[in-house]
Structure 1
Amino acid sequence: MMIVILLFTGVVLMVYLFLVKPYSYWAKKNVPTGKFIPVVEDVLNLILGRESMLDMVQRMYNKVPTGRYTGAYQFRSPIFLIKSPELIKEICVKDFDHFMNRRSILPKNDDDIWSKNLAALTDQPWKNMRSILSPSFTSSKMKSMFFLMCHNANNFVQHFIEKQEKIIEIEMKDSSTRYTIDVIASAAFGIQVDSLKDKDNEFYLMGTSLNNFSSPSRLFALFFYLFLPKVANFLKIPIFEKEIKSFFMNIVTDTLKIRKEKNIKRPDMLGLLMEARNEQQSDVLADTTEGTLDVPPEKLDTKNMKHKLSDIDIASQVFVFFFAGFETVSSAMCFVAYELAANPDVQQKLIDEIDDNRPSNGLPTYETIANMAYLDMVISETLRKWPIAAAMDRVVTKPYTIPPEHPHEKPVHLNVDDIVVVPIYGLHHDPLYYENPEKFDPERFSPENRRKIDPYTYLPFGIGPRSCIGNRFALLEIKALFFFILTHFEIVPIEKTQIPIKIKKSAFNLTSENGFPLGFKKRR
């Protein structure tokens, strides 16, 4: 009888510790959560493919229709969802020093190539690295990389021009992935590859392997870190194979050695990082906040900074540049192509702008692309409707109190290590900020209309000091490709094209249920 009582007590205790206590966190802080089903909503729906990441963010966003914030749970971790643009500004910009870090779900190892990159670094080491890297992403440096993008974009269209069909059927995801890998290989590593012709080159195979989150072993490891992060970190469960990290590390160290010995200088990412290593750290702060919004310089204070880039630091930045910029940018290109195919009137207007701005030799300059208003409007609207990052998070680094503004609110005290989430997809699809949000309408971002958009409701690259450092590079890469494509082709639906598109619920990344089969119709 005693054994039965002990077993029953143990089961009750386990249920309390795993299914009751974690889900009472926000109730104790008087934060509304709406109705929810523990475990089923925050774990099983994703694991079983019942909802996509976009669905989950939208569900959380709509849980409490009114109010500036809501409490939610993700894999037993309480998250504080902020919906008010004013509150987003306070947390992500004005009081950034209380929310400096991002949530890390990967194992931490001081010698690991992952732990040294800008996305994974925290606190002062992040400040140091951000100030070192920021000058490498200014407009002037992007201008020097532009010809590398154009070279690859031209190779892309020439591959299809050579085909005899009037309408060339392609899988846009595969094709755009190969383009982005070629761009990153040349713009980051100084390596020339042509993945459309050499389909199984090592760079492409490593890149696709790096971004493959559909394998059972990698999915298991990822969910382990999300559900039991402390246990997973203690066990140091690997997510990326050693072969992948060794591949990138070897390329970087070998290239650095050759360039140093032969005094080779190239306007690519490795070249810019080598430049940054040789410059005095005190000279780089001036450009640190370029491209951010309302960021006081003191938020990125790097006084007494003595850190100098090591080979593993450089390898780590290039590694994450590849990891973050390859899958996300190729996905964005797919949605741009889809929307142009589904909205031929928008595509024709963009073709007209490209024809009006195309130089006689057919090769655009950096200024040509930068001054094309409608191209920018199309890309901006695509990123509003299909933000590749459905949400962004911040970790509380100093205790913070949100004072009440409305009668039904009470002060909310956030503790160190609490997770704050900005639901980007929810904001982008809120009728309060965007009329008829499901409609693809580039006119939202015309020069006169863009001024009316609250900048804290349009966040495709995040906001504040920890916004995406590579946003200029990504936008330029996308614009260059579509300039070249639409110079020679119209993008048209084919029999396999799914309109309207349906998001694949079982995929970890944002993608279509049916892929992106499209046609390139040669222009006269």
Structure 2
Amino acid sequence: MIAEILVFVLTTLLVYILYTYKNFHYYLDQRGVKYMPGLPLFGNIYKSMFMRRHMWEDFDAVYKAFPNERYVGFIEPTTLALMIRDPELIKAITIKDFDHFTDHRAFFSEEAEPVLSGNLLLMKGQKWHDMRATLSPAFTSSKMKHMMPFMMEIGENIVEYLKDHHSQDIDLNDIIRRYTNDVIASTGFGLQVNSLKDKDNDFYNIGQNLFKLTISQRLGFLGLIFFPELSKKLKLRVFPEKVTNFFKYLVTSTMEYREKNNVERPDMIQLLMEAYKGTLNHNADSVEKDIGFATTEEALKPQGPVRKWTQDELCGQMFVFFAAGFESTASILVLCLHELTLKPKIQETLYQEIKEFKQKNPNLTYDNISKLKYLDCVVNETLRKWSPAIRMDRICVKPYELPPPREGAQPYRLKPGDIVYNSLNSIHMDPKYYPQPDIFDPDRFSDENKHKIKPLTFIPFGLGPRNCIGSRYALLELKVLLYQLVLNFKILKCAKTSEVVELTPKEFNFKVKGGSWVRMEIRH
């Protein structure tokens, strides 16, 4: 009897999978939208699901297969999405017609992950709008200016450590993640942490637990994405409860201590305390200073009274701030240093600019960092090749008609709940927009050449009202350490250095297969 039930369940499941798989094909065929068939159950992501290549490479394979289409179908295990390839159409979706596409996909259910699901990235509708407006003053130029000394201090700790270990092979993945960890601890939570001296501090270990997903966590995360309803019923979690509890306790206890002892510090906790009390100043800087070519502009302005937020909701913002500042920034920094290691001439050009700057400016400050033009070019080229966003997902919230995918085809009508993926990295790596895109060439972004970049083809921090709120913060964190490292060291290849940058398939972020190993030689 049990065997018969099992056979029935498995047969039903197989029939459902094949039906869904064929139904996606039929749906796209009927609407004249091209697609790669993929495999039943796995769709277009079977290679990354089996860790044969990085998930971006699965996405990029579909992008490259249809060079003349404005958009194509992208098939996932239980979901059909449209991949948008045309920059002008991406602009319409993310800016011009934003009110039709206000939301991201929700990865976590509020029942299973109440803190993690309530962050700015995953909030929807008016609640997202209100939180974005609440937090926007936290990332203005004046706030970054106050945070920069903390970044400089932590960068100096890195330099001091590397001077003592310059004769050794250095694992950039480890060193850089300790830098971004300590910067977030300081500028976010007001904690003085030196992860190079105290290698097993709680703050760093929590970050490691958060991003080094086990196989079961990885499967759980994929389940949340591709089987959301089943995951909700099972109350499936990705992160251990101790991780979310750590963030919640850290935020609430710090707020309570500061309130009781009348402590103020120019960091994110302070800004959230003001938001909690409804006293956060929403007067934007009179002149917002861009920290680089990639800086995004704030598209939303506060309207009416400031919304009152709960501590759980504010804890959720600290989680996404930690996640972006710790892992995403570290990924970019490591790949930038890896590229500079493989391109000593580019590294030397950058050093000469920094050296001349240092002779004229005794201190690096928020007001003068924008003078380092070539440093900005190096960072932009890294963001072009290795932008951690990969794609900008949007959920259609009210009916919308897309223009035909090609001349002579029919328009495509999106209905509420439909998913679109706006291409990002694949556009950055499209030879139509960037000749020889695999070559790391910062001169693409020089004052002489950047006018050649087609509008909307360099979007590392996204577009429109849902762009990355922390672009100034991220660029500042990147540039501070790059400045300090290149000023003090030659970054050289060692026996372990990967000459060709291949991505590790098992990671969600970009990491070099085999690691990013270098040797530091002190400059005299």
| Same fold (TM > 0.5) | yes
Distance in 2 between residues matched to 1:449 and 1:315, nearest whole Å: 43
Distance in 2 between residues matched to 1:89 and 1:483, nearest whole Å: 34
Corresponding residue of 1:242: 241
Deviation for aligned residue 1:197? 1.0
The aligned amino acid for 1:448 is E
Corresponding residue of 2:78: 76
8 Å Cα contact 1:392-1:462 kept in structure 2: yes
Distance in 1 between residues matched to 2:85 and 2:17, nearest whole Å: 32
Corresponding residue of 1:113: 115
Distance in 1 between residues matched to 2:508 and 2:29, nearest whole Å: 30
Task: Note the 1:7-406 alignment, pairs <5 A.
Answer: 13-109=15-111, 112-163=114-165, 165=166, 167-213=167-213, 215-279=214-278, 283=282, 300=300, 303-304=303-304, 307-358=307-358, 363-404=363-404, 406=406
**Bigger CA drift: 201-210 or 364-373?**
364-373
8 Å Cα contact 1:23-1:78 kept in structure 2: no
Query: Cα–Cα, structure 1 residues 281 and 110, in superposed 2: closer, same or farther, change >3 Å?
Result: farther
Corresponding residue of 2:436: 436
- Partner secondary structure for residue 356 of structure 1: helix
The aligned amino acid for 1:440 is F
Q: Any unmatched runs of 5+ in structure 1? A: none
Deviation for aligned residue 1:53? 1.5
Deviation for aligned residue 1:330? 0.7
The aligned amino acid for 1:160 is L
Corresponding residue of 1:507: 507
8 Å Cα contact 1:75-1:226 kept in structure 2: no
The aligned amino acid for 2:248 is M
**Aligned-residue CA RMSD in angstroms?**
2.7
**Bigger CA drift: 353-362 or 186-195?**
353-362
8 Å Cα contact 1:131-1:285 kept in structure 2: no
- Partner secondary structure for residue 422 of structure 1: strand
8 Å Cα contact 2:87-2:456 kept in structure 1: yes
Deviation for aligned residue 1:34? 4.3
Deviation for aligned residue 1:451? 2.4
Deviation for aligned residue 1:246? 0.9
Query: Cα–Cα, structure 1 residues 90 and 120, in superposed 2: closer, same or farther, change >3 Å?
Result: same
Distance in 1 between residues matched to 2:223 and 2:454, nearest whole Å: 37
8 Å Cα contact 1:293-1:464 kept in structure 2: no
8 Å Cα contact 1:293-1:463 kept in structure 2: no
Deviation for aligned residue 1:20? 2.0
Cα deviation digits, residues 185-219 of structure 1 (max 9, x gap): 00000000000111001111011101122x02201
Deviation for aligned residue 1:507? 2.5
Deviation for aligned residue 1:43? 4.2
Distance in 2 between residues matched to 1:22 and 1:416, nearest whole Å: 17
The aligned amino acid for 1:255 is T
Deviation for aligned residue 1:364? 1.3
Query: Cα–Cα, structure 1 residues 497 and 368, in superposed 2: closer, same or farther, change >3 Å?
Result: same
Deviation for aligned residue 1:70? 0.8
Distance in 1 between residues matched to 2:15 and 2:229, nearest whole Å: 20
Query: Cα–Cα, structure 1 residues 150 and 286, in superposed 2: closer, same or farther, change >3 Å?
Result: closer
Cα deviation digits, residues 153-207 of structure 1 (max 9, x gap): 01110112234x5x44210000000000000000000000000111001111011
**Bigger CA drift: 360-369 or 447-456?**
360-369
Cα deviation digits, residues 126-151 of structure 1 (max 9, x gap): 00000000111011111111001001
Distance in 1 between residues matched to 2:11 and 2:372, nearest whole Å: 68
Query: Cα–Cα, structure 1 residues 157 and 286, in superposed 2: closer, same or farther, change >3 Å?
Result: closer
Identity %, equivalent residues: 35
Deviation for aligned residue 1:516? 0.6
8 Å Cα contact 2:296-2:461 kept in structure 1: no
Q: TM-score, normalised by structure 1?
A: 0.92
8 Å Cα contact 1:188-1:269 kept in structure 2: yes
- Partner secondary structure for residue 326 of structure 2: helix
Q: Any unmatched runs of 5+ in structure 2? A: none
